[in-house]
């Protein structure tokens, strides 16, 4: 079967991968990806994707993706996990909303209060329709990121 992405390791790459596998002092997924590259090397064992999948107990797509990343982007990218294009969930506070939070936190606290609490700030952001809903811990993280203290 003709493969679209043929892995051909140089002597230097092969020795580097073998050293990575032998020492075993890195993340497990990096070792598995190194083993996959060594197994599918066209100048080495030249295992099929199915043989490699069975030998290293991973999904067939993992073998295919490691092979593709090696051919297209190089060895370091192939050893790493695929990076996400965007985070799994969008952040609640962007730059404008964080600015509104800081403006509210720096303003006078509500009547009868000596200072803003995290829950008061969260409730105020919802009341001002800056966000639909927000937890006090999200407010805390945003203020901590800005090195802002409520005291």
Asked whether 115 and 73 are in contact (CB, 8 A), the reply is no
Residue where a domain terminates, one of 79, 105, 120? 79
Whether 21 and 73 map to the same domain: the answer is yes
Whether 38 and 70 map to the same domain: the answer is yes
If residue 21 lies in a helix (H) or strand (E), which one and from where to where?
A: helix 11-23
Say what the pLDDT of residue 151 is. 60
**pTM for the model:** 0.64
Please indicate, yes or no, if residue 37 is contained in any of the structural domains. Answer: yes
H helix and E strand count, the chain: 8, 0
Say what the pLDDT of residue 63 is. 95
Whether 25 and 71 map to the same domain: the answer is yes
Please indicate, yes or no, if residue 89 is contained in any of the structural domains. Answer: no
C-alpha distances (whole Å) from 113 to each of 90, 110, 140 are 33, 6, 19
Whether 75 and 15 map to the same domain: the answer is yes
Q: Is the dihedral of CA 50, 53, 58, 63 positive or negative?
A: negative
Say what the pLDDT of residue 2 is. 57
Say what the pLDDT of residue 84 is. 85
Say what the pLDDT of residue 86 is. 86
For residues 119 and 91, what is the distance between their CA atoms, to the nearest angstrom? 19
For residues 145 and 151, what is the distance between their CA atoms, to the nearest angstrom? 16
Domain of residue 20 covers 11-79
Report how many domains make up the chain.
Answer: 2
The per-residue pLDDT string of the chain (151 residues; one tens digit each, 9 = 90 and over) reads 557 899 999 999 999 999 999 998 999 999 999 999 999 999 889 999 999 999 999 999 999 999 999 999 999 999 999 888 888 888 899 999 999 999 999 999 999 999 999 999 999 999 999 999 999 999 999 999 888 776 6
Whether 118 and 69 map to the same domain: the answer is no
Asked whether 26 and 20 are in contact (CB, 8 A), the reply is yes
Asked whether 125 and 99 are in contact (CB, 8 A), the reply is no
């Amino acid at each position: 079967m003709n493969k679209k992405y043929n892995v051909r390791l140089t002597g230097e790459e092969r020795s580097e991968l073998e050293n990575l596998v032998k020492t075993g002092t890195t993340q497990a997924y990096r070792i598995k990806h190194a083993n996959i590259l060594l197994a599918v090397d066209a100048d080495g064992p030249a295992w099929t994707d199915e043989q490699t999948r069975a030998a290293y107990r991973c999904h067939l797509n993992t073998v295919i993706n490691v092979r593709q990343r090696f051919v297209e982007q190089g060895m370091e990218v192939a050893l790493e996990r695929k990076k996400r294009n965007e985070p799994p969930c969008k952040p609640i506070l962007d730059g404008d909303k964080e600015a509104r939070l800081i403006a509210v936190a720096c303003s006078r606290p509500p009547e009868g209060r000596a200072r803003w609490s995290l829950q008061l700030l969260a409730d105020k952001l919802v009341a001002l329709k800056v966000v639909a809903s927000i937890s006090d811990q999200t407010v805390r993280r945003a203020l901590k990121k800005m090195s802002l203290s409520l005291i």
